[in-house]
Structure 1
Amino acid sequence: MASDALASFADLFSLRGQVVLMTGGYGHLGRATVRALAAQGATVLVLGRHRDGFSEAFGEQPSDVHFIACDVADTASVQQAFTRSTADYGLPAVLINNAVYSRGNRPDQLTDEEFAFGLDGSMGTTYRCIREILPYFRQRGSGKIINVASMYGVVAPDFTAYAATPQFTNPPHYGAAKAGVIQLTRYFASFLGPENIQVNCVTPGAFPSATVQQHPEFVRELEQRIPLGRIGRPEDLAGAFVFLSSRAADFVTGHNLVVDGGWTIR
């Protein structure tokens, strides 16, 4: 009995035999998460618009990482991607909603079109993908949905951090949409719990891209606001997705896992 329990614990984070769908999987943060999921044995299907972007990110990809064409802004495209992925690789076990798009960042000068576009790029896409994955999870009898929010869905920006680099100012529609993603997570965790479908959220802190890191004065502004004293690295985030995708999180739902080096505790 003890040896059985130990064997069970040894496989607690294993994703062998699991099909994981991930939108936004070849971006700055997505690629590390994809590699971490694959390292645990998952078959990872990266849903995106650009095969070239996928190939650039995973040129030497493991055999269990695959590209599926998908435009998360378009319902028909999402439906087609889920149909194809199931036909080719079987019913999914996990959906990670990581894709985002936005336009405009001047807080008091966004047009109506920019504001609506940004809301759809974070919150609309999340809802769209949740809605369209449910028939597959219901057929499977279980599923895990992991949404991606932001620290700016939890706290307001400290605008002094952007004084020297206003081009990086975080816009209002982004934070509003990410706050909405956190609430969508709670809503659907409650709604889908009786169907054995878990819904959780990961909230990253400051994980600036390589392009942004070319501005050391801005990076210093970020670092001095983080209790751990440094910006996030993509690999810092990957473990959160492995945990929430795995059997280790089978009794976790409606949770917002904040990975921010402590930014939001102050």
Structure 2
Amino acid sequence: MVHTFDLTGKVILLTGGYGYLGAAAAESLLHHGGTVYILGRSEEKFQKVFDGHSALGSRLHYQYCDISSTHSIEEAFEEISTLERSIDVLINNAFYLGSFYKDGLDPITITDEEWHTGIDGTLSSVFRCIRGVIPHIEKSDSPRIINVASFFGIVAPDFDVYKEFPELLNPPHYGTAKAGVVQLTKYYASYLGERGITVNTITPGPYPSGAVRENEKFVEMISKRTLLKRIGEPEDLAGAFVFLASDASGFMTGQNIIVDGGWTTT
């Protein structure tokens, strides 16, 4: 029996891997035998999330990387390449939107600067990482690139819900950029296919975290919009990363796996 989900020996780079969903993905990738490098700007946050982890220092590592900087991305990939046999998997999970998390963004009053920052942090950053990893990942026997989009890149927000909770409304550049991530995936899947590099997308649905989860009325309203009548838990998404990182997805490229509880089905 071929161990198609075994990630032993695979070197996996995960941007934004100490966040709510990223940490769960990292845990699952480690559980299946992968060596995981968490790429981010805060070693302090990394240490806080993974403090005492059994794989820390052996198969779990931190690597400084600022996805807004081409130089930082290339430097991070080069450094890991000197430490490992090859880079096998890149997961583009990190993004930034600028002032959104501090102040909220109104779809009417959003400024040019805020728009450009969000597009850069959600779409252009993925492009920079894909471009930067190609010289390294093409040396792998089973190269994989996995991009993370959002169901807001497929459907518009349910404004009946957000009328009551305008502070939680995703701004227009977020969904626009995430739709671009899906197209960027298809483009590079086509371009890199003859090199044996697969490029796929994972599209999460409603996975509220932190203080948002404490808003019981909001959680209840968005739960009703899914076919399963609940919000997503990080563990619901983790398996998709394992599948796309593993040999099980070896003949799959240019695809978008939607893990949204059925939200976008109706």
> Scaled by the length of structure 2, what TM-score is found?
0.95
Aligned residues: percent identity? 48
Regions of 4+ moved over 4 Å? none
**More displaced, 98-107 or 114-123?**
98-107
Q: Would you say the 8 A contact 1:142–1:195 is kept in 2?
A: no
1:45 to 34, 37, 44: 37
Aligned to 2:235: 235
What is the number of residues matched between the two proteins? 258
Residue 222 of structure 2 aligns to which amino acid in structure 1?
Answer: L
C-alpha distance in structure 2 between counterparts of 1:141 and 1:192, whole Å: 14
In 1, Cα distance between equivalents of 2:88 and 2:20? 24
Task: Specify the SS of the correspondent of 2:110.
Answer: coil
Q: 166-175 or 56-65: which moved more?
A: 56-65
Per the alignment, residue 119 of structure 2 pairs with 119
**Which residue of structure 1 aligns with residue 188 of structure 2?**
188
Structure 1 segment 20-59 matched on structure 2, within 5 A:
20-59=12-51
The reply to whether residue 74 of structure 1 matches residue 66 of structure 2 is no
Unmatched 5+ residue regions in structure 1?
1-5
Match of 1:101 among 86, 96, 107: 96
Q: Could you tell which deviates more after superposition, 47-56 or 211-220?
A: 211-220
Mapped to 2, the partners of 1:142 and 1:228 lie a distance apart of 35
Aligned mates of 1:253, 1:145 — CA distance in 2: 9
Aligned partners of 2:265, 2:122: CA distance in 1, in Å? Answer: 24
Instruction: After superposing the two structures, state which structure 1 stretch, 172-181 or 82-91, moved more.
Output: 82-91
Match of residue 91 from structure 1: 86
Q: What's the C-alpha RMSD, in Å, of the aligned pairs?
A: 1.0
Once the two structures are TM-superposed, the CA of residue 164 in structure 1 deviates from its matched residue by 2.0
Query: What per-residue deviation string (whole Å, max 9, x for no partner) do you get for residues 158-203 of structure 1?
Result: 1111122211001100000000000000010001000000000000
Distance in 2, matches of 1:244 and 1:138, equals: 17
Q: Distance in 1 between matches of 2:84 and 2:115?
A: 37
- Whichever residue aligns with residue 225 of structure 1, its letter is R
Q: Distance in 2 between matches of 1:60 and 1:258?
A: 33
Is 1:264 the counterpart of 2:264? The answer is yes
> In the aligned structure 2, how far is the partner of 1:12 from the partner of 1:139?
20
C-alpha deviation, 1:140, in angstroms: 3.2
Unmatched runs of 5 consecutive residues or more in structure 2: none
Using the alignment, how far apart are the partners of 1:140 and 1:245 within structure 2? 12
* In structure 2, C-alpha distance between the alignment counterparts of 1:118 and 1:179, rounded to whole Å: 13
Structure 2 counterpart of 1:78, one-letter code: I
1:202-254 deviation line (CA, Å, top 9, x unaligned)? 00000001221111111111111011010000000000000000000000000
Q: Is the Cα–Cα contact under 8 Å of residues 142 and 247 in structure 2 kept in the other structure?
A: no
Correspondence for 1:3: none
| CA distance in structure 1 between the aligned counterparts of 2:9 and 2:217, rounded to whole angstroms | 45
1:141 Cα deviation after fit: 5.6
CA distance in 2, matches of 1:181, 1:260: 17
* Native 8 Å contact 2:88 2:141 kept in 1: no
Q: What is the identity, as a one-letter code, of the residue corresponding to 1:164?
A: E
Contact 1:141 1:195 in 2 (8 A): no
* Superposition deviation, residue 139 in structure 1: 3.1
Q: Structure 1-normalised TM-score?
A: 0.95
2:14 maps to 1:14:
no
Secondary structure of the structure 2 residue equivalent to 1:29: helix
SS at match of 1:239: helix
1:208, 1:166 → 2: CA distance? 15
